[in-house]
Amino acid sequence: MTNFTASDLALMMLSASLGINIAFWSVMGALRFAGTLVPGRPKRGVPALSVADVAVVIPAHNEEIGLPKCLRALTAIVPPKQIFVASDGSRDATVAIARAAGCRALDIQPNGGKAKALARAIRHYRLCDRFKAVLIQDADSEMDPHYLEHALPLFDDPEVVAVAGHVLSRWRPHVWPRADMVYAAYRTRLYRLLQMTFQYGQSWRWANVSYIAPGFASMYRTRALREIDITAPGLVIEDFNMTFEVQRKRLGRIAYTPMARCSSEDPFTLKDYRKQVQRWYLGFWQTVRRHGIWPSRFWIALGMLLFELILISLFVLALPFLALGALLAGGLQVPALSLFDPGLHSVSVLDLIVLFLAVDYAITVIAAVIDRRPALLLYGVLFPLIRLLDAALFLRALGQSFTAQSDGRWASPERFATPALALSKRNFHAEVTT
């Protein structure tokens, strides 16, 4: 038996499963939300930006499946003439689909990568001269009809130079649990957790330490976009770097509202999920190393987060080995430091694993209630395995960031096509060939 108290175990597992940073930023988010309940001065004057002031750039590489859905949602709120598709070496109908929808399409050959495609489209169409803001959207994303209604007013604050979009995982209609939906289910929980805590708290005007304006649907004021090095060499992704550029160069504030929503398609194969997550983590670590450390609130917040993420990843990866050791040794005890007693105590591996899984599943229950998705309760049984994979990829990317270089070229993951979409696609190809 152990004299490790229940309070000790509970706090330790909450720290390992969630992190102290999440608790801190949850408090900051709660304070921010409380501030919105206090009546303020009525806004006066003309809005700083309107829909006519916004250009949309969509980098795309062989996106004939996802692009029609993206443009259908986007053209409902933005005139097609303000939408610019940067087709990066596409060899399918991406360019033709964009032009058929009334959008401008730049056929870039050969492909040079997402960041270069973005920069080239912005430069080619002189978007920083013609518009006041540029919305960057992924070709597999579907914009909420009210996105601009909630995002544009944030630019009324002249300090705001970027608006981070709120990502939603896209759920395909299904009755029974499907293996290819487990990643969307996991992302649903992950996005809910991170956006309710980190993104909401860190984007509070009194904090302003956001480290990511996701590239799937975020908007930049063009006067700030001119100062951002979009095509920084050697990076596999651009959105972390663009956000760090805003913070490092003190260009202004990154704003966020959970009402500026856009849905995104998550991978539905293990191979695509692993490749996507590895790319994200590598891009994150590359960006951290590129910009280095500078004295700021931003780096204090980021440094604390990095330290905690490394510890949590090591802990998660250690659990299977501790379990194996316990089986071989017949009841291994793991020494741990009590939070309420300076003495050392021991806790069984079984206690650790059970409490970790319990806390992890409790998070799933909360997400299922908030999102009203009972199916999460079934998918949630597999989430600890995905967390194990994420932890391994996170630490692997840290090591790779010291040697890996990239020219930014990319390959889109497999997309889901509905039967109706597949039929219309075949008809489209038939019309083009005839």
Q: How far is CA 94 from CA 122, 184, 218, 415, in A?
A: 18, 25, 22, 14
For residue 380, give the DSSP letter.
Answer: G
pLDDT tens readout for residues 251-288: 999 999 999 999 998 998 999 999 999 999 999 999 99
Q: How confident is the model at residue 432 (pLDDT cuts 50, 70, 90)?
A: very low
Which parts of 208-295 fold into alpha helices (H)? Answer: 222-225, 239-248, 270-291
Q: Supply φ then ψ for residue 141, to 5 degrees.
A: -95, 150
pLDDT category, 409, cuts 50, 70, 90?
low
Q: If you average pLDDT over residues 242-254, what whole number do you get? A: 96
pLDDT at 337: 42
pLDDT value, residue 414 = 63
Going from N- to C-terminal start, the domains of the chain cover: 1-27+54-429
pLDDT tier, 340 (very low <50, low <70, confident <90, very high otherwise): very low
**Left (φ > 0), alpha (ψ -120 to 50) or beta: where does 45 sit?**
left
68-77, 208-217, 244-253, 316-325: lowest mean pLDDT where? 316-325
Multiple choice CATH, 1-27+54-429, 3.20.20.140, 3.40.50.280, 3.30.360.10, 3.90.550.10? 3.90.550.10
Going 265 to 59 to 74 to 190, the CA torsion angle's sign is positive
Report the distance separating Cα 22 and Cα 359, nearest Å.
14
Instruction: Indicate if the pLDDT at residue 323 is higher than 90.
Output: no
**Averaged pLDDT, 306-322:** 89
Among the ranges given (229-243, 355-369, 395-409), the one the predictor scored with the smallest mean pLDDT: 395-409
- pLDDT over threshold 80, residue 379: yes
Confidence of residue 23 (pLDDT cuts 50, 70, 90): confident
Does this model's pTM top 0.95? no
How many other CB atoms are there within 10 angstroms of residue 288's CB atom?
20
Confidence of residue 430 (pLDDT cuts 50, 70, 90): very low
Q: In the predicted model, is pLDDT for residue 394 greater than 50?
A: yes
Among the ranges 3-7, 41-45, 271-275, which has the highest mean pLDDT value? 271-275
Q: Is a pLDDT exceeding 60 seen at residue 316?
A: yes
Closest to 109 (Cα-Cα) out of 406, 409, 405: 409
Angstrom CA distances, 426 to 61, 65, 103, 352, 421, stand at 19, 11, 21, 54, 9
What is the bridge-based pairing of β-strands 133-137 and 141-143? unpaired
Tokens of 94: 């991406």
Using pLDDT thresholds of 50, 70 and 90, give the confidence band for residue 356. Answer: confident
Percent of the chain residues past pLDDT 70, beyond the cut? 83
Q: Which residue has the higher pLDDT, 411 or 223?
A: 223
